Structure 1
């Protein structure tokens, strides 16, 4: 039953930041991934981010048998029908907007569908989770309003608690934690408290649960069942319509990539040390998404709940924000 359910389901991953190559794309198809928020900007400004988008566009075109660029939820539905994976362009930082409000519309026109306000540290719009958090700036409020207007989903996964709370309250559209874990299972600056998870859900927001092992209770010894435990924890807090997956797959990357992630601006002071990084046993690669569906059913979720968690909930939220 699990295999058939997975084949029929819309499977949407709220965050992938893997090494983009043919092996990964073929694994996405073997895993039955319908669409994913694919990171094309972390520390980059305008010019470098445009270059990253150009490179992703070229990859999508060169691998059109596997991939389809997503602008609307209709594109996600098309990807499902055609057996391809829809690529949603996403940022993990608002630095690409620089200090120009008009850049929000420009990036929307280029196909960007999800933008995280801050990546771990302070920028012009607010503060990340590894610093004392002064909250959403005046410019940040303008950026958020413009994201609401053009239809870009606001992500708060790496954002500090004050900035996140103010953004949740300020936004006229649903916002999300695209990839997070509950601090109730492991205390970590990147994990969210029960109160934070309830607050975003109570304000119409959404929670994608990550499986990044440094943040999971059992660390590198975690399995797909530990991931399901975290999903269950969030599910019980926010309800079955407000939770999905956001694996944070980093498949294929080397130590230099992770070193850049954990240094402010990609090169400055070191913010944290992840230690060993290995995905949970049972979902080590993107080809193993079916194992997660099976583990959800084994963990007591109903088929309807499993379909919602694996992608239907994401599809609804994206349609609400994008408007199509």
Structure 2
């Protein structure tokens, strides 16, 4: 089983075919970054159209058993997720409505502080707001997994503490391995271990060591170090792999509607635009090669199965059944 807990960009039939060729069982696409309720519903509608148009290839999954069914019948499971909680627009009743429409993953905030918590890019992480604590309880109740990949460390630790169910960091690496605001501290990784959460190792060049981008075995060694910190049951894959990511798409990701100024996201003035995929991950079909890399550095088959997808499946089952 191969599960990638976060990808983004423009999905289409040719992307689904590539993912199936790469033996993916399930992937979480990004349905939105800054969109409000109505725009987020538009995105859901488009994905339902895509499911109908590509019913021979994909299935929108709502429960862990749906993912197992995809594995059995050779379809690609689509776990619907958003990288911001803007879709709720501050309304405590909306998580239940979006859960009923099939949403299963929502990141608390993207690159800015919002009405829920602080982001990793703010000078000061405010922690969870009162609404944020209410939202965590409601998301747990209706079966939406909390994601804290772009959330500040203080807010992430408070989310782990206050959430009735384990949470995720779907696409980040350990800051102790590669210091970056987008990566998570050892305290967060250890808290995930204690609470039953999972972190997805990212393959996005701006937040990944250059050596781990140049060589598959070095990437697997990075995963091994994350396992040392978080534990074998709490590390998976969340590549942040993107499709058809052009300048317009990047501008929306980085700026939304909130600014006219230059924003680099995880990049910098030195690396302002698109970055190359890791040398060993030129296409999504290559992700399955991690199995061999993990085996080469000493992981056992049962451990490899957990990293490749088993840990995500367990967390999904815990959060939404």
TM-score, normalised via structure 1 length: 0.93
Match of 2:300 in 1: 302
Out of 196-205 and 171-180, give the one that drifted further.
196-205
Segments of structure 2 that go 5 or more residues without pairing to the other structure are none
Helix, strand or coil for the counterpart of 2:6? Answer: strand
Structure 1 position 266, deviation (Å): 6.5
Match of 1:6 in 2: none
Q: Please list, as runs of the form range in 1=range in 2, the aligned pairs for 1:259-270 lying within 5 A after superposition.
A: 259-263=251-255, 265=257, 267-270=259-262
Find out whether 1:74 has 2:72 as its counterpart.
no
Q: Distance in 1 between matches of 2:101 and 2:280?
A: 36
Q: Cα RMSD (Å) of the superposition?
A: 1.6
Q: Please list, as runs of the form range in 1=range in 2, the aligned pairs for 1:140-155 lying within 5 A after superposition.
A: 140-155=132-147
The 3 A distance-change label for structure 1 pair 220 and 260 is farther
Match of 1:184 in 2: 176
Aligned residues: 314
Helix, strand or coil for the counterpart of 1:125? Answer: coil
Residue of structure 2 aligned with 1:207, choices 199, 202, 209: 199
Superposition misfits of 4+ residues, deviation over 3 angstroms: 264-271
Structure 1 position 271, deviation (Å): 3.8
Q: Distance in 2 between matches of 1:195 and 1:271?
A: 28
TM-score, normalised via structure 2 length: 0.94
Match of 1:88 in 2: 79
Find out whether 1:320 has 2:312 as its counterpart.
no
Q: Distance in 2 between matches of 1:51 and 1:60?
A: 14
Match of 1:245 in 2: 237
Out of 292-301 and 260-269, give the one that drifted further.
260-269
Find out whether 1:282 has 2:245 as its counterpart.
no
Structure 1 position 200, deviation (Å): 2.1
Segments of structure 1 that go 5 or more residues without pairing to the other structure are 1-9
Match of 2:16 in 1: 25
Find out whether 1:229 has 2:227 as its counterpart.
no
Structure 1 position 163, deviation (Å): 1.1
Find out whether 1:173 has 2:165 as its counterpart.
yes
Match of 2:151 in 1: 159
Q: Distance in 1 between matches of 2:292 and 2:105?
A: 28
Q: Give the conservation status (yes or no) of the 8 Å contact 1:43–1:266.
A: no
Match of 2:290 in 1: 292
Match of 1:52 in 2: 43
Helix, strand or coil for the counterpart of 1:44? Answer: coil
Q: Give the conservation status (yes or no) of the 8 Å contact 1:127–1:160.
A: yes
